[in-house]
Chain A
Amino acid sequence: MPESDILQAGTPADSKAVASLYFDTTAPLLDVQELRVDFQTKEGVAHAVNGVSFTLEAGRTLGILGESGCGKSVTAQAIMGILDSPPARVVGGKVLLSGVDLLTLNEDARRQIRANRIGMVFQDALSALNPVFTVGWQLGELFRKHRDFSRKQAKQEAVRLLDLVGIPAAGQRVDDFPHQFSGGMRQRVMIAMALALDPNVIIADEPTTALDVTVQAQIMKLLADLQAERNMGLILITHDIGVVADVADDICVMYAGREVEKADVYAIYDSPAHPYTQALLESIPRVDMKGQQLASIQGLPPNLTSMPSGCAFHPRCRFARERCREDTPPLYTVTPGRLSACHFFQEVLDS
């Protein structure tokens, strides 16, 4: 491991424990600034993430809400450093983990950060786990690679973790292969894997989308309990407006690669300050109400290679004016801590 990179980042560190040494504990846990990711495609350059910024503190849950193609998963992958590049390229911004910009680190250092500092839970556990190894071996691998544990010790740790995430008879199931678990149980294995090395941040990318509601409730409860117990920061990426309402502290709504609204969860559901958020909330049926006609958003999300001029939402927006076509709205401060990328946020709030 090239020590120079680490030294540049701050304090000297030995390669195995790079994580614990040079981080500034007074800085925000995770601070993403103006992140930009482009994809090279046949149709041209797609701006998948277009200047996203947010902060996550320990013990808090940030919900990133958006439809498919809005850039929410790409943001997560950029933070983790697992983007496929090419075609993807991080073209700007900073990802500060306790003050250290991850984007400037080399691959070895980033590998140390992953798992040790940031864990990730993927949507599709069946394809995220390796089908030809037992779950115990895959969980143990983290300890063998990152902690120099023996095989026996690593397996013990694997059993402990499976037990922690509520898999019955963990001692026996540790030798099972991923396909022998049900969908909910596989997701628990994924969570165990993300938690294995005690990270400070967990990124959960659509962790319950493929699951039934009753299992979803179990998994969300497990995540919330573990987060509270360990005081981790949790980023919950989802398109499910109901799930984030239940667990998130803060919400960041994304549209076409940008954040369009950011606020604490109560404010955003109470009175959205961006037309897109407002339209989303009106377009979903609720289980506790018998609705009338749903208010649908006209049109389709834009093509990322040929984004509309001005505000990307203007072709579908009911508040759109001439100005929206030309002038890209900045993130206006609505109230302290509350941001909206709409020229007419006041009108949206009042409506």
Chain B
Amino acid sequence: MSEVILAATDVRKYFPITAGVLKRTVGHVQAVDGISLELYQGETLGIVGESGCGKSTLARVLMGLIPATSGSVKLEGEELVGMKPSRLRKIRRDVQIIFQDPYSSLDPRMTVGKIIGEPFEIHAEVAPKGERRRKVQELLEVVGLSPEHINRYPHQFSGGQRQRIGIARALALRPKVIICDEPVSALDISVQAQVVNLLENLQSEFGLSYIFVAHDLSVVRHISDRVGVMYLGKMVELGTEDQIYERPTHPYTQALLSAVPVPDPGLRGHRKQIVLTGELPSAANPPSGCRFRTRCWKAQSVCAESEPALEVRDGGDHPSACHFAEVIDVTHAAY
């Protein structure tokens, strides 16, 4: 396997909950609670989970947009947590992000040329002043927009085109890692495929590594080499795309996969359906032991007492954080 480019070890991010006029801290939202992962050169690591599971917070912590509470994030062996801001700014060149909402992530008062060229002003060494315009035009071409659009404003573009602008901006500094935070979930289906294909082509062209955060399990399967499943700030299962989708062992992964509708009416009633009851517990006061136990049909007393570690278990071939991990095929029809 190729080398590790980004490694996170036991990363935690707690947000304080304050109360009263003095803003005393009365508790913490444990948005990300002890996550370890490795991103290899040239691969796509998908992170899935429902809203509120901490996947976007994790993405931001990984690129140092918000400081981690504890733990370590290493980019090519260099520690990012606690790094001096001036050095962090330099190193950010190598890790860029694409946001979900192509409407609010582009400044409406800046032209496309300015938006895509802004990274060059912070990292002037990448492109000398005279060359910037040409570089921006090149980038527009790379993402499938016309170079003549350089003087237009974001409102003159459709959602899919705006997302291409966001991608061009992320590409400007020739990063090694791009963190994609729900990059296609705001787009229409016919446009979604265009952007997914673009991301894949850019990956092979520039040798990028992606962390692809999304709630759409079908898109994540399509684009990812490996997938991590998050629930309430914890990673509950981690494996290759094939392991997670074909041989899931964690009950939450199974419930999640079984709930994804498949565009084939012939499979109606033939797929295993696990409908979860109850709601996502609060991350400020998570359940003891296994965090999923309050909604899990397999839960026993051991689940409340001891927290299952993310490790390879009997009968499985990849790490799963469940005391009773076993493979159930939920994506295919069972006749």
Binding partners A and B: yes
Residues in A lying within 8 Å of B, measured CB to CB: 67-68, 182, 184-185, 212-218, 221, 239-243, 245-246, 248, 265-266, 269-270, 279-281, 283-288, 290-291, 293-298, 300-301
Q: Please count how many residues in chain B sit with their CB below 8 Å of the partner chain's CB atoms.
A: 45
Complex CA–CA separation, A295 to B194 (angstroms):
8
Indicate if B218 sits at the interface (CB-CB under 8 A): yes
Q: Is there contact, CB below 8 Å, between A213 and B215?
A: yes
CB contacts (< 8 Å) of A184 on chain B: these are 279
> Can you name 26 A-B residue pairings with CB atoms under 8 Å?
A67-B190, A182-B280, A213-B50, A213-B256, A213-B260, A216-B259, A242-B261, A243-B261, A245-B262, A245-B263, A248-B265, A266-B265, A269-B265, A284-B189, A284-B192, A285-B196, A285-B218, A285-B221, A287-B218, A293-B197, A294-B193, A294-B196, A296-B190, A296-B191, A296-B196, A300-B191
Within 8 Å by CB of B222, from A185, A245, A290, lies A290
Q: Is there contact, CB below 8 Å, between A266 and B266?
A: yes
Q: Is there contact, CB below 8 Å, between B263 and A283?
A: no
Complex CA–CA separation, A287 to B222 (angstroms):
8
Interface of chain B residues 172 through 215 with chain A (CB within 8 A): 188-194, 196-197, 200, 215
**Number of A-B residue pairs having CB atoms within 8 Å of each other in the complex:** 129
CB contacts (< 8 Å) of B255 on chain A: these are 214
- Given A218-B275, A245-B265, also A287-B331 (CB < 8 A): yes
- Given A213-B217, A296-B194, also A242-B262 (CB < 8 A): yes
Within 8 Å by CB of A297, from B161, B193, B200, B223, lies B193
Q: Is there contact, CB below 8 Å, between A241 and B190?
A: no
Q: For the complex formed, measure the closest distance between the CB of B87 and the CB atoms of chain A, giving whole angstroms.
A: 38
- Given A213-B256, A214-B255, A239-B189, also A286-B51 (CB < 8 A): no
Indicate if B294 sits at the interface (CB-CB under 8 A): no
CB contacts (< 8 Å) of A295 on chain B: these are 193
CB contacts (< 8 Å) of B194 on chain A: these are 296-298
Q: Is there contact, CB below 8 Å, between A240 and B265?
A: no
Complex CA–CA separation, A291 to B262 (angstroms):
14
| B interface secondary structure, majority | helix
Q: Is there contact, CB below 8 Å, between B219 and A286?
A: no
Q: For the complex formed, measure the closest distance between the CB of B90 and the CB atoms of chain A, giving whole angstroms.
A: 36
Complex CA–CA separation, A184 to B51 (angstroms):
12
Within 8 Å by CB of B332, from A212, A214, A288, lies A288
Q: Is there contact, CB below 8 Å, between A286 and B263?
A: yes
CB contacts (< 8 Å) of B259 on chain A: these are 213-214, 216-217
Q: For the complex formed, measure the closest distance between the CB of A98 and the CB atoms of chain B, giving whole angstroms.
A: 29
Q: For the complex formed, measure the closest distance between the CB of B332 and the CB atoms of chain A, giving whole angstroms.
A: 5
Q: Is there contact, CB below 8 Å, between A241 and B222?
A: no
- Given A184-B279, A213-B215, A295-B193, also A246-B188 (CB < 8 A): no
CB contacts (< 8 Å) of B245 on chain A: these are 287-288, 290
| Pairs A-B, 6 closest by C-beta atoms | A242-B261, A285-B222, A296-B193, A283-B193, A212-B50, A217-B259
Q: Is there contact, CB below 8 Å, between A182 and B268?
A: no
Complex CA–CA separation, A239 to B191 (angstroms):
12
CB contacts (< 8 Å) of B262 on chain A: these are 242, 245-246, 286-288
Q: Is there contact, CB below 8 Å, between A67 and B193?
A: no
Q: Is there contact, CB below 8 Å, between B268 and A287?
A: no
CB contacts (< 8 Å) of A239 on chain B: these are 188-189
CB contacts (< 8 Å) of B268 on chain A: these are 245-246
- Residue-by-residue, is B59-91 near A (CB-CB < 8 Å gives 1, otherwise 0)? 000000000000000000000000000000000
CB contacts (< 8 Å) of B258 on chain A: these are 217
Chain B's closest residue to A217 (CB) is B259
Complex CA–CA separation, A245 to B200 (angstroms):
28
Most chain A C-beta atoms within 10 Å of own C-beta, residue among B196, B218, B263:
B263
Chain B's closest residue to A288 (CB) is B331
Indicate if B242 sits at the interface (CB-CB under 8 A): yes
Q: Is there contact, CB below 8 Å, between B222 and A294?
A: yes
Indicate if B305 sits at the interface (CB-CB under 8 A): no
Complex CA–CA separation, A76 to B200 (angstroms):
37
- Given A242-B260, A285-B219, also A280-B331 (CB < 8 A): no
Q: For the complex formed, measure the closest distance between the CB of B250 and the CB atoms of chain A, giving whole angstroms.
A: 14
Complex CA–CA separation, A288 to B158 (angstroms):
31
Q: For the complex formed, measure the closest distance between the CB of B177 and the CB atoms of chain A, giving whole angstroms.
A: 23
Complex CA–CA separation, A346 to B257 (angstroms):
36
Q: Is there contact, CB below 8 Å, between A245 and B261?
A: yes
CB contacts (< 8 Å) of A221 on chain B: these are 275
Indicate if B33 sits at the interface (CB-CB under 8 A): no
Q: For the complex formed, measure the closest distance between the CB of A234 and the CB atoms of chain B, giving whole angstroms.
A: 16
Chain B's closest residue to A168 (CB) is B278
Chain A's closest residue to B271 (CB) is A288
Complex CA–CA separation, A212 to B51 (angstroms):
7
CB contacts (< 8 Å) of A283 on chain B: these are 189-190, 192-193
Q: For the complex formed, measure the closest distance between the CB of A134 and the CB atoms of chain B, giving whole angstroms.
A: 20
CB contacts (< 8 Å) of B276 on chain A: these are 214, 217-218
Most chain B C-beta atoms within 10 Å of own C-beta, residue among A67, A218, A239, A284:
A284
Q: Is there contact, CB below 8 Å, between B241 and A290?
A: yes
Chain B's closest residue to A221 (CB) is B275
Q: Is there contact, CB below 8 Å, between B50 and A293?
A: no
Q: Is there contact, CB below 8 Å, between B263 and A241?
A: yes
CB contacts (< 8 Å) of A279 on chain B: these are 190
